[in-house]
Amino acid sequence: MKLRLWSYFLRQALINIMNNRLVHVIGLGTMFVSILIFGAFLLLFVNLNVWVQGVGQTLSMSVYLDDGISVSKRDMIASWIKSLPTAKIDRFIAKEDALKELRRVLGPQAGLLEGLSANPLPASLEVVFEKSNGQRIDPERIKKELEKMEGVEEVQYSEEWLKQFKGLLGLIKMTGLIIGGLLCLGILFIITNTIKLTIYSRKEEIEILKLVGATDWFVKIPFLLEGAIQGILSGILALLILFSGYYLFTAEKMLFTGVGVFDLIFLPHEYSLLIFLGSVTLGLTGSLIAVRRFFDI
């Protein structure tokens, strides 16, 4: 299509927007808020995911030992652990140190421990596995092997709760997708009706355009551009506000407000592009539905 026609279409689309600015402002506002909600959800999901992945980089394991275990047995267990790939014994916590640590954690409530006749806490070996070198670690197998050894009371590892958290993350993802889907339908409904209203307001002009020989597409394209412009503006606005929110929560100046600085990351470029393109596509699709339903001149 000729370039000058596109400049005509764009001019017409902008004139339409200006002539129906109230309808467009309402449509734009609603679309922007919907995309912002979806973007905020995505930002939350991305950050939780990154945090879980970061935590999952190291696997920590607590090997609780039987009371009265001999030093030689303890050393034997320690050397077996050291023989495991990427394993490192971070520290040994004696029974007394474990109780001291508990007292410290309980703080003012430490008096609760005064009535104890004996120290109920076991000694433990704190083990760390580094996952970064690509080695596959099977914590469940190691746990079972250790629990078979004489002198080992119980073994717990960090991924057990991480697994549960990943389940929660899956739930958040699913909720986000459902909310996103509903918001998309809402946006389509809003855009379709916004464009329908502008088509109604230009009904007379459309009729005359058709009577002087305008093709269907000549009449339709400015309306499609209106939807696309709404999508572009909503997408850009939502991303800007999202970035401003992110900047505010991560900026050092937040320290002065008494609220801690959050260690967040912003949406990766491809996600931001996805939000923008999705917004434009929704705008276009909404106006396409409106013109398809409306035009029969």
Partner 1 sequence: MIQLFHLFKNFGPNAALRDIDLRVSRGEFVLITGPSGAGKTTLLRLIFGAEKPTSGQILINSINLNRLGRASLDLLRRRIGFVFQDFKLLPKKTVFENVALALEVTGERGSIVRKKTHQSLRRVDLAQKEKAYPLSLSGGEQQRVAIARAIVKDPLILLADEPTGNLDADLTRDIITLFKNIHVKGTTIVVATHNQELFEHSGQRTVVLKRGKIVAEK
Per CB under 8 A, does 18 bind partner 1?
no
Task: Pick the stretch among 62-70, 99-107, 215-223, 255-263 that binds partner 1 (CB under 8 A).
Answer: 215-223
Given 18, 22, 105, 212, the residue binding partner 1 (CB under 8 A): 212
Q: C-alpha angle with apex 94: 147 to 116, nearest 5 degrees? A: 100
Which distant-in-sequence residues (6+ apart) come within 8 Å of 82 by Cβ? 88, 89
Per CB under 8 A, does 174 bind partner 1?
no
Q: How many residues does the chain have?
A: 297
Q: How far is the CB of 220 from partner 1 (least distance, A)?
A: 12
Q: For 69-138, where are the alpha helices, taking DSSP H only?
A: 71-83, 95-106
| Cα(46)–Cα(49) distance, integer angstroms | 5
Per CB under 8 A, does 209 bind partner 1?
yes
Q: How far is the CB of 26 from partner 1 (least distance, A)?
A: 22
Q: How far is the CB of 19 from partner 1 (least distance, A)?
A: 8
Per CB under 8 A, does 103 bind partner 1?
no
Amino acid identity of 188?
L
Q: How far is the CB of 209 from partner 1 (least distance, A)?
A: 6
CB atoms within 10 A of CB 38: 24
Per CB under 8 A, does 197 bind partner 1?
no
Q: How far is the CB of 9 from partner 1 (least distance, A)?
A: 11
| Cα(267)–Cα(40) distance, integer angstroms | 10
Which CB atom, from 79 or from 215, has the smaller least distance to partner 1?
Answer: 215
Q: How far is the CB of 25 from partner 1 (least distance, A)?
A: 20
Per CB under 8 A, does 292 bind partner 1?
no
Per CB under 8 A, does 218 bind partner 1?
yes
| Cα(223)–Cα(192) distance, integer angstroms | 10
Which CB atom, from 198 or from 272, has the smaller least distance to partner 1?
Answer: 198
Q: How far is the CB of 17 from partner 1 (least distance, A)?
A: 15
Per CB under 8 A, does 293 bind partner 1?
no
DSSP conformation class of 283: H
Contact 187, 34 (CB under 8 A): yes
Given 193, 210, 250, 254, the residue binding partner 1 (CB under 8 A): 210
Given 96, 140, 160, 207, the residue binding partner 1 (CB under 8 A): 207
* 3-state class (DSSP) for residue 13: helix
Tokens of 240: 């800007």
Given 18, 71, 118, 211, the residue binding partner 1 (CB under 8 A): 211
Per CB under 8 A, does 260 bind partner 1?
no
* 3-state class (DSSP) for residue 85: coil
CB atoms within 10 A of CB 128: 15
Sort 258 into a burial class: Cβ within 10 Å, 0-12 / 13-18 / 19+: exposed
Per CB under 8 A, does 4 bind partner 1?
yes
Given 25, 205, 262, 263, the residue binding partner 1 (CB under 8 A): 205
Tokens of 169: 């993350």
Give the full edge-to-edge strand order of the sheet including 87-93.
87-93, 124-130, 58-65, 152-157
Give me the residues that bind partner 1 (CB under 8 A), please: 1-2, 4-5, 8, 204-205, 207-216, 218
